[in-house]
Structure formats: structure tokens, C-alpha cells
């Protein structure tokens, strides 16, 4: 079968990649990309040479943190939890266009301290080949800290990541993309713990209403909701009931983005300002 041959070929490349390193410390976000990396590290290197590391940051959804812990328990993976302090850094909390660079710099600096206790280990991340064509300042931080990306280095794109995760029966193979909560705040508007909490609380409410994939963009006192196009009508019908709840959270105005959910939508401001 051509599909099976493709998977076999990809796994041959990945197996060869991992067997060239003595151990891997994977920056784990709870998403499917880094989950696949740590799973493969565990598979090819063994438990003692494959460690996941996640940052318990205010910009990480509590649900994603708990899912990451559960994933590691399910797959017998050692998990280290660190507390990065990017929110106290002006290079991050002022929300410049390269905010992600500041965030990843904090993460990889803290990872390097963990690596100091793991001789020979290499820092890994979940960057796939599709990510290389997107605006991702964090890639620069990864390069500066010698963080390796087995997926992109082996030519594995996002679709293949999900296919491989499904092949191995990983519980999060179809998990929707879950960017950090700070990505909901327009560039130039400060990132605060209060805003991150408001966004998370609002998105939890939407999930409870059945909107599995939703973004709440934070425009001061306005919450602008994005859901996939097929769910727009349902969201509009639910809006009269959603607005009072969002008002209690701190949003005096709640609107629906009629374009629907578009990942990285706030990055458009970068090209428009050029």
C-alpha cells in the first residue's frame, strides 16, 4: 500500500535520526507535534534517554498542561515541569512582534539548565516542515540554543505528523492546534496575567457549549470569537446567551468574527504595516 510505504519510509528516517543522539530532552507543549517527538524519542532511545519538559506558564492553558501530564503517564514518559518567567520580561509582556522569540529564549535557557544535569542529551522541539514557511520568531531562539527539530529535519509536515500519531494510536493525534493564550492579544497591547485568565475562562465556556475549536481574541473590553466556518451559524445563535457570561469575565462587548477561525490571524498586521 502506498500509504503504508510512506509511513515506513518516514519512520526509517526518524529512527535513523534518533539513533544518532544519546538522549533527548523535548520541549513539550502538549500539542501533537512535540507529543510525537517525545513518543518517538521514548520508542527509539528508551525511557532513561527520553525526557519531556513542559513550562507551567500563565500563557499555557491549564487543560493543555493536564493533557500533557496524562499523555506522559499513558506512554511511560518522564516529565519535568519548569516555571519560566517570560511574563516578567519587558521583551515579552510589552507584546512586540517578536514576542515568541522572547518566550522561546526563556524556555530554551531554562531547558539548558535541565540539560546540564543530563550529559550528552540534546534539546528537541516539535517544529515540523510546514512551520518553516510561517512567521515564527521562536525558530531563531531554537537555532541560537542549538535546539534540534527531528520532524522538520526529516521532512515531516503537519499532515504526516497527525498520520504518524494516528498510526501509533496517540490519544492526541487529532487534537486541534492550541497556540499559547498570548497569541490572542494583538501586538503592541500588553500581555498580563489578567488578560490571559480572561481568555482562558472565555474559551473554557465555549468548549463547554460544544465549540471544541475556538479562539477568543482580546481587544480590551471586546471579545472577538473565532470558530470554524461550519460552526458560525451555531455560534451566532448562541451569542445572546454567551454575551452575559463574557460580560462577567470582563468583556463588555462580545462579537463574532464572520471570517471564521484562521490560525495566526493577528499576524496579518505585520504584513499590513510594511
Q: Mean pLDDT for the chain?
A: 93
Fold category of 181-272 in CATH: Alpha-Beta Plaits (3.30.70)
Distance between CA atoms of residues 208 and 77, nearest Å:
30
What lies within 8 Å, CB to CB, of 96 at 6+ separation is 102, 187, 188
What lies within 8 Å, CB to CB, of 230 at 6+ separation is none
Q: Give the Å distances, CA to CA, from 172 to 20, 60, 64, 128, 149.
A: 27, 17, 11, 16, 20
The model's pLDDT over 186-237, given as tens digits with 9 standing for 90+, comes to 999 999 999 999 999 999 999 999 999 999 999 999 999 999 999 999 999 9
Catalytic one among 53, 72, 100, 180?
A: 180
Provide the grid cell at 249: 469575565
Q: Give the Å distances, CA to CA, from 187 to 94, 99, 128, 264, 265.
A: 8, 8, 25, 12, 11
> Among 196, 195, 202, 244, which residue's Cα sits nearest to residue 220?
195
Residue 124 three-state SS: strand
Q: Over 80: is that where the pLDDT of 168 sits?
A: yes
Provide the grid cell at 126: 516539535
Distance between CA atoms of residues 49 and 44, nearest Å:
9
Distance between CA atoms of residues 83 and 57, nearest Å:
6
How many CB atoms are located within 10 Å of the residue 8 CB? 10
Provide the grid cell at 94: 510589552
Distance between CA atoms of residues 53 and 147, nearest Å:
13
Beta bridge partners of 200: none
Segments making up each domain of the chain, as ranges: 2-167, 181-272
Distance between CA atoms of residues 10 and 21, nearest Å:
18
pTM: 0.92
Residue 100 bears catalytic tag: no
Residues 2-167, CATH architecture: 3-Layer(aba) Sandwich (3.40)
The model's pLDDT over 83-142, given as tens digits with 9 standing for 90+, comes to 999 999 999 999 999 999 999 999 999 999 999 999 999 999 999 999 887 677 888 999
Among residues of the chain, what percentage have pLDDT more than 90? 88
Q: Over 50: is that where the pLDDT of 28 sits?
A: yes
Determine the number of helices (DSSP H) and then strands (DSSP E) in the chain: 11, 7
What lies within 8 Å, CB to CB, of 139 at 6+ separation is 127, 131, 132
Distance between CA atoms of residues 254 and 182, nearest Å:
19
Amino acid at each position: 500500500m502506498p500509504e503504508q510505504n510512506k509511513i515506513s519510509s518516514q519512520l526509517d528516517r526518524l529512527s535513523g535520526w534518533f539513533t544518532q543522539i544519546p538522549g533527548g530532552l523535548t520541549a513539550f507543549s502538549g500539542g501533537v507535534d512535540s507529543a510525537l517527538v517525545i513518543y518517538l524519542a521514548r520508542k527509539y532511545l528508551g525511557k532513561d534517554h527520553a525526557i519531556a519538559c513542559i513550562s507551567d506558564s500563565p500563557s499555557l492553558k491549564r487543560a493543555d498542561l493536564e493533557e500533557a501530564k496524562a499523555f506522559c503517564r499513558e506512554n511511560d514518559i518522564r516529565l519535568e515541569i519548569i516555571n519560566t518567567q517570560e511574563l516578567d520580561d519587558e521583551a515579552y509582556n510589552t507584546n512586540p512582534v517578536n514576542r515568541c522569540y522572547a518566550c522561546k529564549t526563556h524556555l530554551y535557557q531554562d531547558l539548558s539548565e535541565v540539560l546540564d544535569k543530563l550529559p550528552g542529551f540534546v534539546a528537541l522541539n516539535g517544529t515540523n516542515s510546514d512551520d518553516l514557511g510561517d512567521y515564527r520568531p521562536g525558530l531563531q531562539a531554537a537555532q541560537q540554543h542549538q535546539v534540534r527539530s527531528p520532524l522538520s529535519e526529516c521532512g515531516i509536515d503537519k499532515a504526516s505528523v497527525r498520520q504518524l500519531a494516528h498510526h501509533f494510536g496517540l490519544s492526541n493525534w487529532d487534537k486541534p492546534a492550541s497556540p499559547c493564550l498570548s497569541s490572542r492579544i494583538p501586538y503592541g497591547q500588553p500581555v498580563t496575567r489578567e488578560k490571559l485568565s480572561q481568555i482562558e475562562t472565555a474559551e473554557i465556556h465555549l468548549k463547554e457549549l460544544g465549540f471544541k475549536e475556538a479562539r477568543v481574541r482580546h481587544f480590551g473590553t471586546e471579545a472577538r470569537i473565532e470558530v470554524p466556518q461550519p460552526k458560525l451559524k451555531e455560534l451566532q445563535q448562541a451569542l445572546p446567551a454567551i454575551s452575559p457570561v463574557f460580560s462577567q469575565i470582563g468583556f463588555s462587548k462580545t462579537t463574532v468574527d464572520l471570517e471564521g477561525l484562521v490560525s495566526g490571524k493577528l499576524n496579518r498586521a505585520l504584513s499590513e504595516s510594511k
